[in-house]
């Protein structure tokens, strides 16, 4: 039997159309009146800014919120977040350049950088930009940073990225302790630090631990924060690091249908009980939480058809523009936005599926191009728009735009 993903949504019904905010509907209907069939993202920068303010306000003074640009690098969204975050987390030269447009060009730009395969050109750009911390992933990377820094006549600030052996927290966190390409395995940390201390171009400021993903539980996230701080303090003391920087990565989750949202007030209360030493900055670098709900992905239904008794809505778009439901194997529900104008059906009646389950597929020549399976819809017609809310994070950036060479999805920022 062939593998089928994402999972069936049955018996779920599509969202009512009014889950789409009025300005989003208006903009999408404008796009639908254009000459080209729609496959587009609409973003609301104010929604992202509100999320950042919410997180910032919940956290104690010693905590800093850096936006993980990889989650959504659309310049309008990076710009909308900039006044409401303390800095940026970047993973490439492109992301670095975007971030640098928005940070104070002082001595230490509030930018940190992680990524398991930072090439020499990437490391050189980071050292030249004098970023606050290069989160080093290996001993070789520390050597490279040191060599580049010496050649540039500077000292580079680095934090050692650690893959913890075991974090004593259960729950929805996807924690470290598993072999991976990320960071230095915890048992190897003392040896790596010993070697790093001999390198001339480095200032080791602390640690980076990104071991959580899509966590909806405020208690475990606060316990994770506490663990990162306490572990860093103890390890710094044991290894002679002058600790100034603890970066706990991203990982605050976003609730989908039926899930309980992250309790931000509770997280803030518990975080306030953690007491990092004076002079230690604790960085949180969320991506998904800040931008998931500021984006909507919409695609025009090119065709509606029945095949052996099952209905399909075929989109002008698909995993080439929005891959998350498939690659994460999740049910990502949609709303159907009716578009009444219908010009393409002169010879053939407008195809429609009514009060039935429909599978939403894309325009690629592979059955893997399936975005949602078996969702109950009141009505979907060729020419309507299928709209995925919560598409602001890991949407456009995460898709495989070039496969088959159809036009790339447009991106639009609400005024």
Give the residue numbers annotated as catalytic, written as ranges. 365
Does the footprint of ligand PLP cover residue 130 (CB under 6 A)? Answer: no
Rounded distance, CA 245 to CA 413, Å? 35
Our finding on whether 287 is near ligand PLP (CB under 6 A) is: yes
- Of 164, 276, 286, 351, the one binding ligand PLP by CB under 6 A: 286
- Structure-token pair, residue 259: 């899930």
Does residue 201 belong to the site contacting ligand PLP (CB under 6 A)? no
Span near ligand PLP by CB under 6 A; candidates 28-36, 46-54, 286-294, 301-309: 286-294
d(CA 180, CA 183): 8
**Which is it for strands 87-90 and 63-68: parallel, antiparallel or unpaired?**
parallel
Which of 334, 317, 408 lies closest to 369 in space, CA to CA? 317
Say if CB 167 and CB 226 are below 8 A apart: no
Indicate the residue among 124 and 215 with the shorter CB distance to ligand PLP.
Answer: 215
The answer to the question of residue 285 lying near ligand PLP (CB under 6 A) is yes
Tokens of 89: 């987390």
Contact flag: residue 71 with ligand PLP (CB under 6 A): yes
206 counts as binding ligand PLP under rule CB under 6 A: no
Length of the chain: 415
For 87-108, the DSSP string reads EEEE-SHHHHHHHHTTS--SSS
Burial status of residue 85 (CB atoms within 10 A of its CB: 0-12, 13-18, 19 or more): buried
Give me the least distance between CB of 249 and ligand PLP, in Å please.
5
User: If binding is defined by CB under 6 A, does position 288 make contact with ligand PLP?
Assistant: yes
At 352, list the tokens.
């429609």
- Rule CB under 6 A: is residue 87 a binding residue for ligand PLP? no
Count the site residues for ligand PLP by CB under 6 A. Answer: 16
- Binder of ligand PLP out of 45, 109, 164, 250 (CB under 6 A): 250
DSSP sequence for 124-135: HHHHHHT-SEEE
What's the CA gap between 139 and 194, in Å, rounded?
Answer: 10
Give the nearest distance from C-beta 64 to ligand PLP in angstroms. 13
C-alpha distances (whole Å) from 16 to each of 21, 333, 339, 379 are: 11, 11, 15, 11
Strand partners, 303: 314
Among the candidate windows 12-20, 48-56, 245-253, 297-305, which touches ligand PLP by CB under 6 A?
245-253
Residue 89 found at the interface with ligand PLP (CB under 6 A): yes
Q: Which is nearer to ligand PLP, 170 or 180 (CB)?
A: 180
Rounded Cα distance between 12 and 361, Å, is 17
**Is position 369 an interface residue for ligand PLP (rule: CB under 6 A)?**
no
Query: Does residue 137 belong to the site contacting ligand PLP (CB under 6 A)?
Result: no
Among 92, 172, 213, 356, binds ligand PLP (CB under 6 A): 213
Q: Shortest Cβ distance from residue 91 to ligand PLP (Å)?
A: 7
Smallest distance from ligand PLP to CB 165, Å: 19
> Candidates 136-144, 249-257, 319-327, 341-349 — which segment interacts with ligand PLP by CB under 6 A?
249-257
Cβ nearer to ligand PLP, comparing 188 with 397: 397
| Contact map string, positions 101 to 120, toward ligand PLP, x by CB under 6 A | -------------x------
Q: What is the distance, to the nearest Å, from the Cα of residue 106 to the centroid of all Cα atoms in its chain?
A: 28
Binding segment toward ligand PLP, per CB under 6 A, in 100-108, 247-255, 311-319, 405-413: 247-255
Is residue 210 within the footprint of ligand PLP (CB under 6 A)?
Answer: yes
Residue 343: C-alpha distances to residues 39, 219, 404 (Å): 18, 54, 26
Q: How far from 295 is each of 19, 20, 102, 240, CA to CA, in Å?
A: 13, 11, 21, 45
CB atoms within 10 A of CB 260: 9
Q: What is the DSSP string of 376-401?
A: EEEEEETT-EEEESS-SSSSGGGS-T
Residue nearest ligand PLP by beta-carbon distance: 250
Report the site for ligand PLP in 50-69 (rule: CB under 6 A). Answer: 68
CB of 152 to ligand PLP, least distance (A): 24
Sites of contact with ligand PLP (CB under 6 A): 68, 70-71, 89, 114, 210, 213, 249-252, 285-289
């Amino acid at each position: 039997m062939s593998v089928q993903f994402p999972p069936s949504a049955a018996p779920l019904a599509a969202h009512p159309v009014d889950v789409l905010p009025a300005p989003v509907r208006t903009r999408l209907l404008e796009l639908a009146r254009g000459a080209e069939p729609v496959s587009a993202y609409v973003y609301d920068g104010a929604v992202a800014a509100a999320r950042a303010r919410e997180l910032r306000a919940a956290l104690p003074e010693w905590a800093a919120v850096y936006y993980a640009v990889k989650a959504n690098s659309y310049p309008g969204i990076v710009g909308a977040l900039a006044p409401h975050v303390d800095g940026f987390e970047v993973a490439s030269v492109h992301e670095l350049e975007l971030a640098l447009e928005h940070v104070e060009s002082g001595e230490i730009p509030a930018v940190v950088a992680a990524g398991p395969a930072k090439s020499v050109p990437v490391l050189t750009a980071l050292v030249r930009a004098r970023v606050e911390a290069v989160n080093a992933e290996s001993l070789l990377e520390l050597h490279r940073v040191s060599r580049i820094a010496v050649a540039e006549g500077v000292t580079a600030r680095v934090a050692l990225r650690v893959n913890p052996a075991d974090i004593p927290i259960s729950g929805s966190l996807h924690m470290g302790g598993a072999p991976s390409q990320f960071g230095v395995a915890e048992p190897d940390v003392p040896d790596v630090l010993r070697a790093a201390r001999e390198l001339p171009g480095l200032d080791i400021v602390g640690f980076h631990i990104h071991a959580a993903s899509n966590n909806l539980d405020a208690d475990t996230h606060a316990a994770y924060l506490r663990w990162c701080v306490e572990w860093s303090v103890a390890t710094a003391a044991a290894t002679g690091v002058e600790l100034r920087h603890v970066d706990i990565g991203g990982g605050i989750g976003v609730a989908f249908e039926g899930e309980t949202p992250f309790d931000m007030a509770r997280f803030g209360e518990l975080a306030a009980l953690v007491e990092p030493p004076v002079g230690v900055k604790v960085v949180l670098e969320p991506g998904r939480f800040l931008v998931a709900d500021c984006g909507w992905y919409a695609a025009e239904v090119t065709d509606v058809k029945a095949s052996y008794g099952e209905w399909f809505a075929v989109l002008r778009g698909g995993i080439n523009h929005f891959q998350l439901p498939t690659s994460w194997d999740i049910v990502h529900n949609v709303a159907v936005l009716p578009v009444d104008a219908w010009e393409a059906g002169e010879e053939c009646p407008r195809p429609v599926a009514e009060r039935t389950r429909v599978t939403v597929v894309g325009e690629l020549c592979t059955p893997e191009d399936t975005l949602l399976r078996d969702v109950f819809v009141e009505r979907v017609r060729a020419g309507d728009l299928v709209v995925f809310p919560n598409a602001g994070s890991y949407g456009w950036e995460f898709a495989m735009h070039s496969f088959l060479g159809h036009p790339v999805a447009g991106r639009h920022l609400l005024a």
